[in-house]
Amino acid sequence: MKMNGAQAVLESLRKEGVRVVFGYPGGAVLDLYDAIYTEKFPHILVRHEQGAAHAADGYARAAGGVGVCLATSGPGGTNLVTGIATAYMDSVPLVCITGQVGNPYIGKDSFQEADICGITTPITKHNYLVKAAKDLPQVLKEAFFIARTGRPGPVAVDIAKDVFTQEIDYAYPEDVHLKGYAADFSGDATEVAAAAEAVAAAKRPLLIVGGGVTLSDTAKTVREILDLTGIPSATTLMGVGCVPTARENFLGMAGMHGTYAANMAIQECDLLVAVGMRFDDRVTSDVRGFAPRAKIVHFEVDPVEIDKNVVADCRVLGDLRRSLPLLKEKLAALGVDFRARFSGWSRYMVEMNNEKPLSYKKRAGCIMPQQLIETVSELAADDAIIVTDVGQHQMWAAQYYDAKEPRRFLTSGGLGTMGYGLPAAIGAKVAHPGRQVILFTGDGSIMMNCQEMATAAANGVAVKIIVVHNRVLGMVTQWQRMFYNKHYSQTLLPGGTDFVKLAEAMGVEACRIQEPARLREDLAAALASDAPQLIDVIVPGNVDVLPMVPGGKSLDEMVLESE
């Protein structure tokens, strides 16, 4: 087929099954946007390019596919950078398409020129600068292949402006063959066998589930392994939802703000089976004191992560979609009654979890933030998707919201990006228009990308935005309170922002809740709305997220109660 470069981009997106893109037009992509107009390609106009990247990220996490965002050259491309870095840290597959100045102007500091390939090299799996339209089909085929295979991640495709108008004979490749990039992530069966033998030899094993289980859609297999063995389990922040809260022998989230039992299980176990996690410092704290009695079995698709933070005694390198079913098979073949073998250990950890559960103290006349999260958890639909921004509300949501399935709890874990939540929630709702999508955000985080309320209103994207409004930058003030002699330097927000007026100005319905007696009734009414809705909930500003492992301490040195 004869077509120009702009048409070739859209046809390639169709070939990859892309249902919608998120973007913002500009000079270098005018020809691409003209093709979008002519061909009526599904596109959602965000109000800031960072919003486009986060929306594509939220779409990808919720849908389980590749998210796509578009931006123009120069500041358009650089505005994507925070969103690209967010996706890179959490292994989210994105294809980020940017315009570049025309070929004759590249490298001459032309108007709105920026070296997007150079800028994004550290935060992408790969990137391309396309200078000829004939290369577009191959490049885009490769970009999607790289983004979704192995350890997923973002790929940047920078396209010179004149490429969009060049004519080509379009043909989309059927296969991808990349020198130095093998698509075989099946791994070694002998490593899985060794892992199974390690479980059989253990007396106090613990299975900890990370974001890789979500990304590989293997939560069902993990649950089957837990049913077979009766092993206690915990999750990282990125693994929330892979094991339901009510599931047998589940201890909750581990790490800096994890449960007492989950962290103590790490410290007391003799075998730690880590599945799809990278031993981030928010999970391990001081690695010198991490799991001191345990042998480590590490299931991981990316060889770079093996032994990077915590040295593994047994590695299982490969795609979890192959290695976990094989582990279940080999465990069953051993003929060991694992449930009987580990019953005493499991009972001990469950009793510890019951003795020191997550808890908080209520205050007369106040809505406590934990109470808010619990109430939403009770009112939300069974298949609701929860999105968070970053800060105290994020940790309370991870602790107190009962996420029962993977891809139902979306958050910026690795980069910790304030402003992620609202555009990501929009992306998730576009991916699943029939599901309830609820955002927990703070009065600090929501201001980072509050302009995207206009995007939700203009497109009828009925996200529910719950502002946990405490008039402080909560997590930073907590650290200042605990470790900086209460020097609240630039973290207090006296008077606050009238988020009801702000939302209404952007076309979003809004209400405020500050009476504890009306919390459930008003929340239920707001969540039932078919329109985008902001719910401004006033909570105290001096509540700590607990438990907490202070920086530099080991997991068994948790702070359990505030002063």
138 in catalytic set: no
Q: Which residues of 494-505 are buried (b: 16+ CB within 10 A; e: fewer)?
A: eeebebbebbee
Tokens of 530: 């078919």
Tokens of 226: 């837990």
Distance between CA 268 and CA 346 in Å, rounded? 12
For residue 553, give the DSSP letter.
-
Edge-to-edge strand list for the sheet holding 126-130: 43-45, 21-23, 67-71, 94-100, 154-160, 126-130
Q: Residue 516 belongs to what H/E stretch?
A: none
220 in catalytic set: no
Choosing from 11, 16, 41, 49, the catalytic residue is 49
CA angle 294, 205, 407 (to 5 degrees): 105
Are 243 and 223 within 8 A, CB to CB? yes
Choosing from 100, 112, 371, 392, the catalytic residue is 112
Strands 67-71 and 43-45, by their bridges, are unpaired
Q: Which residues of 2-12 are buried (b: 16+ CB within 10 A; e: fewer)?
A: ebbbbbbbbbb
Distance between CA 451 and CA 454 in Å, rounded? 6
453 in catalytic set: no
Distance between CA 67 and CA 71 in Å, rounded? 14
- State residue 377 phi and psi, 5-degree precision: -60, -40
Choosing from 238, 395, 448, 475, the catalytic residue is 475
111 in catalytic set: yes
CA 325 to chain centre: 25
Say which residues have a Cβ less than 8 Å from residue 110's Cβ, sequence separation at least 6.
101
514 in catalytic set: no
Q: Residue 535 belongs to what H/E stretch?
A: strand 533-538
For residue 161, give the DSSP letter.
G
* Burial of 507 per CB tally in 10 Å (0-12, 13-18, 19+): middle
Tokens of 391: 């800060």
Tokens of 106: 């590249």
CA 435 to chain centre: 18
Choosing from 161, 328, 404, 429, the catalytic residue is 161
Task: State the CB neighbour count (10 A cutoff) for residue 293.
Answer: 12
Distance between CA 319 and CA 303 in Å, rounded? 11
| Integer CA distances (angstroms), 48 to 55, 78, 85, 196, 277, in order | 11, 11, 16, 49, 32
Give SS3 for 98. Answer: strand
Catalytic sites, residue numbers: 49, 111-112, 161, 475
